[in-house]
Chain A
Amino acid sequence: MKRYVKLAKGVTLSLVIGMLPTLAACSDNNSGETNNAAANQAANNGATKTDVPPNEIYKQKFDPPITITTAVVDDGASRGNAFKPGESMEDNVHLRWMKENMGIDIKFDFIVTKPEDYDTKIRLLLSSGGKLPDVFGAPGDSVQNLIDADRVMPLNEAIEKYAHPEFKKILEKYDYALGEVKRDGKLYGLPGFFMGDEGTVMWIRKDWLDTLGLQPPKTIAELENVLKQFTENDPDGNGKADTFGLAVPLKEGPWTWMGQTDAIVSAFTKQMINTYDVRSYWNKGDDGKLSYGAIHPDAKKYLETMRDWMSKGYMDKEAGIKDPMKASEMAASGKAGVMFGPFWMGDWPLNDATKLNPKADFQPFPLPAGPDGLVGRAEKSITAGFTMFNKDFKGIEAWFAYFNKIFAKNLEQEGDPYFDPRFKDGYHEGYDYVNLDGKIIKGNYKEAGVPEDKWPLKDGSRMDMRFMIANGILGGTTTIPFSNDEPIKKFLADPNAEPLTTREFDVKQMVKKQITAAGVRMNQGIEEGKNYFTGPMTETMKSKGELLKKLATESYLKIIYGEKPLDYFDEFTKQWLENGGEKITEEVNEWYSKSQ
């Protein structure tokens, strides 16, 4: 069961969880009244929780217990081993622990299997006057609705009163990314963060480079040569002209989640470009104004290069009809030798190439520099969604008590009064760790000599605790951006170093190529190009955004495919501005000047 062992590898904490939207409805069951009363009291004088000294605040317990109903996205398939047989999202060791030790009782109103379905349910609840909500991750397009409708609570006060001090710092640090949930100086949602580690690196078939006697390309010109050689010189030595250079999906334009070409864009310009979403990338000019990257004249240089490579056959001729998954097949099957993308590609899909052909060796390399020495990449939005709180929710103190506990566990800071020593070795013995005669073992149980009957799972694999811990009410709020960086540095320096923290342990589980790639990303020290527009969709974006997205993506592809001359770009820019782009630019800048 090789696959199960594979599951026990690196975890970028709660990235998927980060998107798990949450919903809690006012509990209208029999316990509703009591806990509202209790919560009210708690809110008033903080007396119903067990009184604890400030240096042992982790001991907080609510009596009578507080029920928080919630909902979650859980498809049950893509999450690996999250629960033991017989346990589930709704009934597991962690929920029981919470109830017993914290007096917090989590109930699920609904569980769906896809984010889209979650959004639909929320809208239906909103529309049908269904009961909304205690705590919930708001779907992107409902955030504004919820604030407009005055159904969610401003959080400034609660954060001030209850939040972990380090979390307050993080909120301040990433304040720029919270535009969507800010209104009149108040914060209406807590961000779930991405790890921030998905920046593009360049993956190249090292074995092909070696076969053809090529050096890893450091510039776009060298990259072009590599692409050319890969296309024309039969790098796989099968005597057929069946290879090409770059595997790239262009169905969604230059920017997407894998195989993206932001690095090529950035070699020519400081503008970040995304044609597939009118909300990004808005770049900051020298005059302090924001402008849309895809219509900047510099984009022509990118288009010219791509067009050239396309016409010469250096990249996938069918890139225009492919999404990232489909494009990655070209790399995995040994047809293409170069693909850009995040560090995690070192496992799926690129490691699958090696499984099929042991010689196939994709390695991560630093991004190439452009003719003027420019190197760069775009930043994937750091926020993964927002957790919001019902206006009528009275148990926010309990929520923060739980949040702080998990957050402190992620932080692993010495002397943190929020840190719960009961979680010192892990969350729950027999789940995420085993105590073998005083030695804490968190994975590879067989190799560590743990007797079979003490393995958390029958096949000896590791459990993925994120789903149990986040359990709907936290969303991704406990993720600390870039907290993988230090552990990665540690293991780059010494691959055999002993992991000391949970974070380090998770990182150590990654496939070696993933760690290498993460290292390549960090060591290149690029400041990623930000999207400066983080506000709610503007009026014109709502009405014209779709049109402009279509126009931009279509124009880019037509130019790359040579169906339209390069100069068509100017025509496109004109159309873009005329058909609402100009108005949107105004609106965006208006927002920007206000949000400063």
Chain B
Amino acid sequence: MKFRSRSYAAFAISNNVFLSLLGLICILPLIHVLAVSFSSRAAATANIVNFWPVGFTLDAYAKTLDNEKFLTAMWIGAERTILGTIISMAVITMASYSLSKTSIRFPGRQVYTWIFVFTMLFSGGLIPSYIVISKLHLLDTIWSLVLPGAVSVWNMILMLNFFRTIPQDLEEAAYIDGAGHLRVLWSVYLPVSMPSIATLSLFTMVSHWNSWFDGVIYMSKPEGYPLASYLHSMIVSDNLSRIGVSAESIANFSNRTVKAAQIFIGALPILLVYPFLQKYFVKGIVLGSVKS
């Protein structure tokens, strides 16, 4: 690196410091949640836990991991995330390939894009969607979680824009070699698009992992809930006004340490996926720089 001017050095240092601070601000809440999960119930009730457990105990984790439903839900969450991401990325990649062509090469592409963009904004709402899923006999199947959101138009548009930046001559060279479109997509587009594919896969995974509403709606028993649906019901039930409160139930309702443990364990898998995908867009330079 050649930028050793003094001002750049000063910039680099302050940049490092600034970004480190930023990173710190971002991780503190999670540390707080973590600390709560290791604290005693009383400490959590009084909310005196900051960033270090008060009355250290592993109870919350014991209870969480002992809970069969939690583990089942985690598995279903993983299942839908993996299946959903594969389907979604496959569908989107193919469509984006076509739609990234110019109107000259693919007249009519714009009809398609507008058809898709329209659905980004307009939706029929809960009831008709439910009726469709129900008529297709997809209720209580993993497909009800995977298929309806498979065509993420947002991701599709990003993808087609990424594809557009791929040099034309790469593609043409392939055609000259006699490759078909699928072949070009597979062996020319995909390898050079790893950073974007990693990015969009991440978006897809995250949204699958986090969506809870469809699970609640389309599954008839909590045994079918993905983790997000399961957690949602655990975490948001703080409002007791609708429920008669009994001396017995109150203590269970207020168990914040277990909630904290569940939040943490629940977020863990998707947090762990990140560094793995990250390498594609931090080190992706090598791929992105394929020369023509």
Contact = CB atoms under 8 A, between A and B. Distances in A.
Q: Do chains A and B touch in the complex (CB under 8 A)?
A: yes
Interface of A: 3, 6-7, 9-16, 18-19, 74-80, 108-115, 117, 120-121, 123-124, 127-128, 130, 194-195, 198, 252, 256-258, 323-325, 328-329, 332-334, 342-344, 347-349, 352-353, 355-356, 384, 464, 476, 510-511, 514
Interface string B234-265: 10111111111111111111110010000000
Given A113-B222, A352-B45, A3 B59 contact: yes
A444 to B, nearest CB: 16
A195 B244 contact: yes
Interface in B86-114: none
Interface of B: 40-43, 45-48, 59, 67, 69, 126-127, 130-131, 134, 216-217, 220-222, 225, 229-230, 233-234, 236-255, 258
Contacts of A7: 248, 251-252
Contacts, number: 162
A110 B140 CA distance: 10
Contacts of B258: 77
A327 to B, nearest CB: 11
A320 to B, nearest CB: 18
B59 to A, nearest CB: 7
Given A128-B134, A325-B238, A355-B42, A12 B247 contact: yes
Given A113-B233, A332-B42, A355-B42, 12 more contacts: A12-B247, A16-B248, A18-B244, A80-B252, A111-B221, A113-B230, A124-B130, A124-B217, A323-B239, A348-B250, A353-B42, A355-B40
Contacts of A74: 222
Given A117-B233, A127-B127, A332-B46, A344 B246 contact: yes
Nearest to A1: B59
Contact of B254 (A10, A127, A348): A348
Name the prevailing secondary structure of the B interface residues.
helix
B246 A124 contact: no
A333 B46 contact: yes
B247 A256 contact: no
Contacts of A112: 216, 222, 233
Nearest to A8: B248
Contacts of A115: 242-243
A349 B254 contact: yes
Contacts of B59: 3
A476 B244 contact: yes
Contacts of B69: 76
A114 B46 contact: no
B241 A256 contact: yes
A333 B48 contact: yes
B255 to A, nearest CB: 8
A77 B250 contact: no
Q: Give the interface centre of B47, B130, B251 by most chain A CB atoms within 10 Å.
A: B251
A344 B242 contact: no
B242 A75 contact: no
A130 B220 CA distance: 13
Contact of B247 (A11, A108, A123, A329): A11
Contact of B251 (A195, A258, A347): A347
A18 B248 CA distance: 14
B46 A19 contact: no
B249 A78 contact: yes
23 contacts: A7-B248, A16-B244, A75-B233, A75-B234, A76-B222, A78-B253, A113-B229, A113-B230, A113-B234, A121-B217, A124-B127, A127-B127, A127-B131, A198-B245, A329-B46, A329-B47, A333-B46, A334-B46, A347-B250, A348-B45, A348-B250, A384-B244, A510-B247
